[in-house]
A and B are shown apart, each in its own frame.
Chain A
Amino acid sequence: MALPGLALVEQSLITGFLAGSLYGLLALGLSLSWGLLKLVNIGHFAMALLSAYLTWYFGTELGIPAWWAGAIIVPVFFVYGIALHWVFVRFRVSEMSSMLITFALAIIVESLIQTIWTADFRRYTTELANQSFLIGGLYIPKLNLLACAVAALLAIGTWAWLRYTYVGKALRACAEDTPIASAFGINHKTLTYLLSGICAAYAGIAGVFIALIGTLAPNEIWTWIGVVFAVVIIGRLGNPIGALLGGILIGVCEALTQSAVNPAWAPLVSFSVLILLLLVKPKWI
Chain B
Amino acid sequence: MDLTGNRFANYAGLAVLGAALIAVPALDLPAFYIAFFYVLFHWISLATSWAILSGFAGYWSFGHAAFFGTGVYTTATFAAKLGVPFLLTIPIAALFAAALGAGVGFVVFRLQRLRGELFALITISVTFVLATIVSNTPIDGGLGVYLIAVKVPEVFGSPTSTFYLLGLLLAAISVWTAWKISRSKLGLGLFAIHDDEDVAEAKGVPTFRYKILAFAISSGIAGAVGSVYALYVSYVTVGDTFDVTVIMYPVVMTIFGGARHWLGPAFGAVVVETALYTAASGPDASIGRAVVALVLILVVLLLPSGVMPSIVRLWQSVFPLRRETPRAVAPPAMVPAKAQAAGSAAAPAALNGTVLACTDVRKSFGGVQALRGVSLDVKRGEILGLVGPNGSGKSTLINMITGHYPLDQGTIVFDGAPIQHLSAHRIAELGIARSYQIPRPFNRLTVRANVALAGMFGAGDLHNDTEIYGQAQHWMEFAGIAGRANDFPPQLNLHERKFLELARALAARPRVLCLDEVLSGLNHTEIDAALHLIRNIREGGTSIVFVEHLMRAVVELSDRVAVLNEGELIAVGTPQETMRDPHVVRVYLGEPHAA
Contact = CB atoms under 8 A, between A and B. Distances in A.
A159 interface: no
Interface stretch (A67-75, A120-128, A225-233): A225-233
A100 B287 contact: no
Contacts of A42: 124
A105 B113 CA distance: 26
A100 B293 CA distance: 10
Contacts of B251: 100
Interface in A43-83: none
A226 B62 CA distance: 12
Contacts of A104: 248, 293-294, 296-297, 300
What DSSP secondary structure best describes chain A's contact surface?
helix
Interface stretch (B76-84, B127-135, B425-433): B127-135
B412 interface: no
Nearest to A102: B297
A129 interface: no
Contacts of A271: 125-126, 129
Contacts of B121: 40, 225-226, 229, 233
B129 A108 contact: no
A107 B248 contact: yes
B19 interface: no
Nearest to B248: A107
B132 A96 contact: no
Interface string B122-147: 10111011001100100000000000
Given A87-B301, A111-B290, A111-B293, A233 B118 contact: yes
Contacts of B118: 233, 278, 285
Interface string A253-265: 0000000001011
Contact of B117 (A99, A108, A110, A225): A99
A283 B301 CA distance: 34
B293 A91 contact: no
Given A40-B117, A285-B114, A111 B125 contact: no
Most buried by B among A101, A237, A262: A101
Contacts of A226: 121, 124-125, 128-129
A223 B128 contact: yes
A86 interface: no
B129 A267 contact: yes
B120 A264 contact: no
A112 B290 contact: yes
B293 A281 contact: no
A279 B255 CA distance: 31
Interface of A: 34, 40, 42, 87, 91, 93, 95-97, 99-101, 103-105, 107-108, 110-112, 114-115, 222-223, 225-226, 229-230, 233, 237, 262, 264-265, 267-268, 271, 274-275, 278-279, 281, 285
14 contacts: A100-B255, A100-B300, A101-B301, A107-B293, A110-B286, A111-B289, A115-B286, A225-B124, A225-B125, A230-B125, A265-B132, A267-B129, A268-B132, A278-B107
Interface of B: 58, 60, 62, 107-108, 110-111, 113-114, 116-118, 120-122, 124-126, 128-129, 132-133, 136, 244, 248, 251, 255, 284, 286-287, 289-290, 292-294, 296-297, 300-302, 304
